Amino acid sequence: MTDKKLLAQQFEQYFDVMADCFVHAPGRVNLIGEHTDYNGGFVLPAAINFGTDIVAKAREDRQVNVVALDYAQQQASFSLDDIQHDHAMGWSNYIRGVLLILQKHFPLSKGADLVVTGNVPQGAGLSSSASFEIAILKCFAELNQLPLDGIQAALLGQQAENEFVGCSCGIMDQLISAMGHKDQAMLLDCRSLQVEFTPIPPQHSLMIINSNVKRGLVDSEYNLRRQQCEQAAKVMQVELLRDADMNMLVQHKSSLSREAYLRARHVISENDRTVAMFEALKHADMPRISELMRQSHLSMQEDFAITVKPIDILVDIIHAELGERGGVRMTGGGFGGCVIALVPDDLVESIQATIEQQYQSQTGIKESVFICTAEQGAFA
């Protein structure tokens, strides 16, 4: 988390007045449950100690002035009464979209001056955008004394990203940023939005390794995977793949294209793995956790076809060293991005050293490693 005092000083320099609101919203990593969200299934994310920080002060008029410390074109201004899409400063559309949607549900009496910064690595699949949206919602809820809860905030953030920013995301990223618990992972039922929490085994760290493979093809391939999942659900006459099981899939195999069959097999098995992982975490059953994360990765590689060679190499390097003492898999939408490993604290240094020795020499790419803890959500 950013130094509050330093951020408050920067606010004072820009606006010549003292801030009176400070909010933080975390990014997230998904431990297991990939491409299950839009199929109505289960995911198991944790909020992490990287996120978005905002310092702000309410205004007496309806103007919103934002300074984003992490961008070259860093200042944006607009009125709450005239929110338009800004093509020049794309980052400001997250704020504009959130405030446009928020006002449809709650009256906003005041504009605000804001300074925004974040340390979620962008483009790594750790959800910098959802963290940004939830931080804005938390900030304006505080400035306007709105009775906004975490689930409402997550739904508003998702709506803003879908309708205003134009990215078709599920609900997981916003919900974990809003509702995460310290030192715990959250099992989220993406259909009912019911959540349950389980401790992350003590003396274990969340190691996130950015492969630094730029995530290409994500949008087109993501949309194709969704279509294939919908096609499989239609053939099996279920609303969503959440409602299918392996027996049903086998019965309908001859009516499905090879791709639709494999995609559905991943989603159905991944749902089962995610629920099983929740139980394994409850009992700190490391051999089972190792097995489930390994199966998840192989399913993404073979059935869902969303991993790339450097990611597979990275996962294999870590798995060879971890064995049954922890788990490792790709996390995120695929085609690059990050690997998540649940690592005993006494192995963190040796695994980092092994990655450093082997990954770049095998791929020609230098990784970035982040040792993370599970943190509290903005509305929790």
Token pair for 99: 């405030």
Residue 168, pLDDT score: 74
Does a structural domain hold residue 8?
Answer: yes
Predicted confidence at residue 216, as pLDDT, reads 66
**Is residue 79 situated within a structural domain?**
yes
Q: Please report whether residue 284 resides in a domain.
A: no
> Which pLDDT score, from 0 to 100, does residue 359 have?
98
- What are the backbone angles phi and psi of residue 203, rounded to the nearest 5°? 60, 30
Question: What token pair was written down for 61?
Answer: 């008029």
Give Cα 319 to chain centroid, integer Å: 23
- Report whether 190 contacts 37 (CB < 8 A): yes
Q: Is residue 364 part of a domain?
A: no
User: Within a 13 Å sphere around the CA of 177, how many CA atoms are in the beta-carbon half?
Assistant: 35
Question: Which domain CATH number covers 113?
Answer: 3.30.230.10
Exposure string (b/e) for 132-162, b if CB count within 10 Å is 16 or more? bbbbbbbbbbbbbebebebbbbbbbbbbbbe
At which residue do the structure tokens 């400070």 appear?
A: 22
pLDDT given for residue 73 in this prediction: 66
Place of tokens 């490693």: 369
Selected catalytic residue, list 37, 53, 113, 173: 173
Q: Is residue 241 part of a domain?
A: no
What does the DSSP assignment read for 18-56? ---EEEEEEEEEESS--S-GGGT-EE-EEEEEEEEEEEE
Give CA–CA dist 370/327, Å, rounded. 16
**Are 341 and 211 within 8 A, CB to CB?**
no
Residues of the chain with pLDDT under 50: none
Residue 126, pLDDT score = 73
17 is in which domain, residue-wise?
Answer: 4-199
- Would residue 334 be called left, alpha or beta, if left means φ above 0 and alpha means ψ between -120 and 50 degrees? left
Question: How confident is the model over 59-106, as pLDDT tens digits?
Answer: 999 999 999 998 876 899 999 999 999 998 889 999 999 999 999 999
Whether 66 maps to a domain, the answer reads yes
Q: Give how many domains the chain has, as a whole number.
A: 1
333: nearest Cα among 223, 241, 180: 223
Give yes or no: 173 in active site: yes
Task: Give the contacts of 223 (CB within 8 A, at least 6 positions apart).
Answer: 168
Residue 221's pLDDT is 86
Please give the model's pTM, rounded to 2 decimal places: 0.93
Residue 367 falls inside a structural domain: no
Which pLDDT score, from 0 to 100, does residue 128 have?
84
Q: With respect to residue 379, please indicate whether it lies within any of the assigned structural domains.
A: no
